[in-house]
Structures are given as C-alpha cells and as structure tokens.
Amino acid sequence: MLKAILNNKIYRLYIADNFIKRAFGLIFKDIEDDEGLIFYYNKRKLHIHTFFMRYPIDVVFLYDNKVVDVVKDLKPWKTYKSKVYSNAMIEIKSCNLRLNIGDIVNIEKDISSSKNKFPKNK
C-alpha cells in the first residue's frame, strides 16, 4: 500500500499491480473516503470508464508524479480519454478535488497501514 496527499488529506492507495486488478479497478468495489487506487504503466494516453461503478470518482493522471490531467466527478457509466501522456493514475471517490496541472503529488510507501489487501467486491 502507498500513501499520497491530495487536498491536504492523506490517501491510502491500493496498487493495481496485475492484469485483473487493472482491468476491474474500482468496479463493484466500495472504498473508504481516504482510500484510492493507483495504476502504474508505460507512457500513454489512457481511455478510462466508470461502467458498473456505484459512485463518481476523481481521477488524477501523473507523469513522474507531476499532475498532467485531472478529471473531477466522473459519474458512473461514463468514459474519459486523456489527451496527454501519463505513466500513473490515481482514482478516488469524488471529493471536490483541488489539484492543478503541474502540481507534484508525493507518493510513498505506507508502512503504518495494516490494510494492505486490495479491496474486495461488495
């Protein structure tokens, strides 16, 4: 598990580190308001969706920890295609996110967390 500060709030980030976790992401999952999911990948422009999700999400696209794109309040059953290259993406429950392009997001290992398992389907 990793942690990052967004909106002056610490988020615990589950890592989508295999094909299944990346393919399903937050589909059918319920996370706490201080949790999220982080995806790492090679440099690309991502096309994402919120099919089968139960709540709107905020999405932060990063390139080497620098914010390059932000999607706020992406509702269930919608798609979004980023127009810029990124190599990481964070998904959190929609929270009136206040990040700007160019902001740096510090991501570090969360050694204090006892919750390291990927969230289960609800």
> Does residue 31 sit within a domain?
yes
> Does residue 118 sit within a domain?
no
The predicted-structure confidence for 27-39, as pLDDT tens digits, reads as follows 888 899 999 999 9
Task: Give the position of tokens 């999700």.
Answer: 53
Q: Please give the residue range of the domain that contains residue 50.
A: 2-109
If one counts the domains in the chain, the total is 1
51: tokens are 């099919």
pLDDT of residue 89: 97
> Does residue 40 sit within a domain?
yes
Q: Are strands 2-6 and 9-16 parallel, antiparallel or unpaired?
A: antiparallel
Instruction: Kindly report the CATH number assigned to the domain that includes residue 14.
Output: 2.60.120.1140
> Does residue 115 sit within a domain?
no
pLDDT of residue 111: 72
Q: How many angstroms separate the CA atoms of 35 and 56, rounded?
A: 14
> Does residue 47 sit within a domain?
yes
> Does residue 59 sit within a domain?
yes
106: tokens are 């510090």
> Does residue 92 sit within a domain?
yes
> pTM for this one?
0.90
Tally of CB atoms within 10 A around 85: 14
